[in-house]
Structure 1
Amino acid sequence: MTLLQIKTLTVRRGECPVVDRASLSIAAGECVGLIGPNGAGKTSLLRGALGLLPYEGTSTLAALPAKERAAQAAWLPQKREIAWPMSVERVVALGRLPYLARGMVLSPADQTAVDAALTRMGLLNFRTRLATALSGGEQARVLIARTLAQDTPLLMADEPIAGLDPAAQIATLQVFETLAREGRAVLTSLHDLTLAARYCTRLVMIGAGRIIADGPPREVLTPDRLAQVFRLHAEVLDTPQGPVVQPLGVLT
């Protein structure tokens, strides 16, 4: 089942296309990693696909009314900040807003979704603590949990593991991997190429706004493409846990 399809999607900054005629589809059961250097257009592609930026081309999500779109895809932006002194549980419960009429309280099903999200992110013991009193990495986990509580078929996340310690990075990607195995889908931008290769079923490499490669991690991560797109001299080593990208130098 296709959960997102974009065709010839173009997003411009002024006259310059920062996403240039990108086409891809995301199906249930996939965990897709969007990779590319800084400024390649990853964030613009995600936001354009959601209709959060003006775009040309087509996106099945962007075409939906806002409430229906919120029931189909959860969105975790790159900029993450908890501004109000609310408990962790209340912040996570905000993920249920697309399903609540004005003035309604959480139903037992809503509370179950919140509890499941707290459990997945290892936050059950944090539920009564003020979210604003947590560390930056802990707040990031809370906001990921809020996205999980939305319980949508598709989760879209922009650099969700940035600022997390290594164990939390792996735990988060394991959650995404599990969501895909459960029949949902994840589209996430990542900078750690080794973790992307290990936990994503598919990688989409973008450079200068264009999709350069799209396929299984080992087929996408080649020394030639890493040199072309990232200006990186690197080896790609095959291990039982998947490909490991070993940077060796920067190409000039």
Structure 2
Amino acid sequence: MTALLALQDLSVHRGSRPVVDHVSLRVGPGECVGLIGPNGAGKTSLLRAALGLLAHQGQSNIADLPAHARARQAAWMPQSREIAWGIDVEAVIALGRTPWLPRGGRLRPEDRAAVDRAIRRMKLESFRHRPANHLSGGEQARVLIARALAQETPLLMADEPIAGLDPAAQITTMEVFGRIAAEGKAVVVSLHDLGLAARHCTRLVMLDRGRAVADGAPGAVLTPERLEEVFALRAFYSRSADGPIFQPLESLR
């Protein structure tokens, strides 16, 4: 498998405490990988270290690239998603094309086409010319997802991208990620909604206290034993004609 993301023994420390502890991971074309784990498991730190945004030990094929090459290889959507600028939604999304622009920075027809594709994918046609900072928090999140989509990199990495979105927008976003993977790219997305993770990700990586404790198909990862040990949770998991169904039932804390 050609790895679009390759991590080897990646570790991140806060003082003497490891928040990411020797994680190795390979993600190839066609995969939509859900990074799951309780609060404090190390999901955000792992994503940021993999992109070279956080000091780390170990190897990452993305972090080792020069900044310009990195921006052409991986698009990044962090948790922070407030838009302070009073510019049109279309202009915000067009910022995703920055790594590909020629000297002078003017959008070419292919750049405008990429922006249009991102707008359609996130169903933002009616928002195109509205000031981005006048939108609701959930709407701004959709705009920033579209900005990352417009970058059209082989790898997309997103940290809790569906937090704060309404249920329909959450499903739309996860469906978009699935289609991106099906086109031969790769997506790595951290999620707290285990139901959406089970339904839309081709693979799950479960973190607990900085370590990867499970990696595989959703049904193989979301076992009763792991859910109890890692999440202190009892849940219902089944398969239907529409895909996996996962429903938390009881906290065991």
Residues 1:87 and 2:82 are matched in the alignment: no
The answer to whether the Cα contact below 8 Å between 1:237 and 1:246 also exists between their aligned partners in 2 is no
Residues 1:18 and 2:19 are matched in the alignment: yes
For 1:114, the equivalent position in structure 2 comes to 115
Report the alpha carbon displacement of residue 246 of structure 1 after superposing the two structures with TM.
2.4
For 1:188, the equivalent position in structure 2 comes to 189
For 1:61, the equivalent position in structure 2 comes to 62
Could you tell me how far apart the structure 1 residues matched to 2:207 and 2:228 are? 13
Report the alpha carbon displacement of residue 243 of structure 1 after superposing the two structures with TM.
2.7
Given the two structures, how large is their TM-score scaled by the length of structure 2?
0.97
Could you tell me how far apart the structure 2 residues matched to 1:104 and 1:36 are? 40
Could you tell me how far apart the structure 2 residues matched to 1:60 and 1:11 are? 16
The within-5 A match list for 1:64-143 is 64-143=65-144
Secondary structure at the counterpart of residue 84 of structure 1: coil
Could you tell me how far apart the structure 2 residues matched to 1:12 and 1:239 are? 42
For 1:216, the equivalent position in structure 2 comes to 217
Structure 1 portions without partners, runs of 5+: none
Instruction: Map Cα deviations across residues 10-57 of structure 1 (whole Å, 9 max, x no partner).
Output: 011111100000001010000000000111000000001001000000
Could you tell me how far apart the structure 1 residues matched to 2:30 and 2:234 are? 33
Given the two structures, how large is their TM-score scaled by the length of structure 1?
0.98
Structure 1 runs (4+) deviating above 4 angstroms are none
What is the total number of aligned residue pairs between the two structures? 252
Which letter does structure 1 place at the counterpart of 2:132?
A
Report the alpha carbon displacement of residue 248 of structure 1 after superposing the two structures with TM.
2.3
For 1:40, the equivalent position in structure 2 comes to 41
Which letter does structure 1 place at the counterpart of 2:7?
I
Could you tell me how far apart the structure 2 residues matched to 1:131 and 1:38 are? 30
Which letter does structure 1 place at the counterpart of 2:193?
D
Report the alpha carbon displacement of residue 235 of structure 1 after superposing the two structures with TM.
2.5
Secondary structure at the counterpart of residue 69 of structure 1: helix
- % identical aligned pairs: 63
Which letter does structure 2 place at the counterpart of 1:105?
R
The answer to whether the Cα contact below 8 Å between 1:72 and 1:152 also exists between their aligned partners in 2 is yes
For 2:243, the equivalent position in structure 1 comes to 242
Structure 2 portions without partners, runs of 5+: none
Report the alpha carbon displacement of residue 102 of structure 1 after superposing the two structures with TM.
4.8
The answer to whether the Cα contact below 8 Å between 2:21 and 2:211 also exists between their aligned partners in 1 is yes
Instruction: Map Cα deviations across residues 84-136 of structure 1 (whole Å, 9 max, x no partner).
Output: 10100000000011112453210001000001100100011211110011111
Could you tell me how far apart the structure 2 residues matched to 1:173 and 1:116 are? 16
